[in-house]
Amino acid sequence: MRLLVAALGLGVLAGCRRGPEVIYLTGFEGVKPAQLTLVRRVLQDFYHRPVRLLPRQRHQAATRCPVRHRHRAAAVLTQLQALLPDSTDGKILALTVKDVEIENGPRQPHWGVMGLANHAGGNACIVSTFRLGGRSDRLRKVSLHEIGHLLSLPHCRSGTATCLMQDARGRATTVDQTREMLCADCRARLAW
């Protein structure tokens, strides 16, 4: 009995201590399990946070743009945000094989992108493999970049071309110039 009480006490203590924020990871239809495993591992190793897999998701017809037939990334982020067990705790990343777009000002209302993070107070981001040319190194880097936004990192202004937080401006070649590292400025923002 005493043992049981002691164990319960420990459980309460463990529950009170806040660990690092969890990153939730999911894939839309068509994403391979190996891709989820790869991204899970890289996020865990790079950001030192637990990464938990959520059940697979399906794209909703309502998030599809009728003009270019891509999914509107911002609408998908709203869908993902609702999946978070607690909206104030944790981040969520979803992988998709579908092309996604953003509204990039009035001149580019349908701008195809590799990923998008809701960094205006949101906790969701998406990475599309559509523009990555089947390259797993790009998938790793774009995933790290988008989660970086959710951890409050803006685009890099230090002039370090190899920093992960470079603004790719929709080009995979910019991603190729980066390495899996953050420059000193970006690290300082994360308080590393």
Contacting residues toward Zn ion, per CB under 5 A: 156, 158, 163, 165, 183, 186
Helix axes 33-47, 136-150, angle to 10 degrees: 50
Which CB sits closer to Zn ion, 32 or 169?
Answer: 169
Contact (Cβ atoms closer than 8 angstroms) between residue 124 and residue 84: yes
CB of residue 112 vs Zn ion: minimum separation in angstroms? 15
Q: How far is CA 61 from CA 34, 64, 71, 72, 75, in A?
A: 26, 5, 9, 11, 11
Q: By C-alpha distance, which of 162, 152, 158 is closest to 191? A: 152
Which CB sits closer to Zn ion, 51 or 127?
Answer: 127
CA distance 134 to 111: 20
CA distance 83 to 77: 10
CB of residue 92 vs Zn ion: minimum separation in angstroms? 17
CA distance 110 to 94: 21
CB of residue 155 vs Zn ion: minimum separation in angstroms? 5
Which CB sits closer to Zn ion, 77 or 165?
Answer: 165
CB of residue 11 vs Zn ion: minimum separation in angstroms? 40
Which CB sits closer to Zn ion, 43 or 163?
Answer: 163
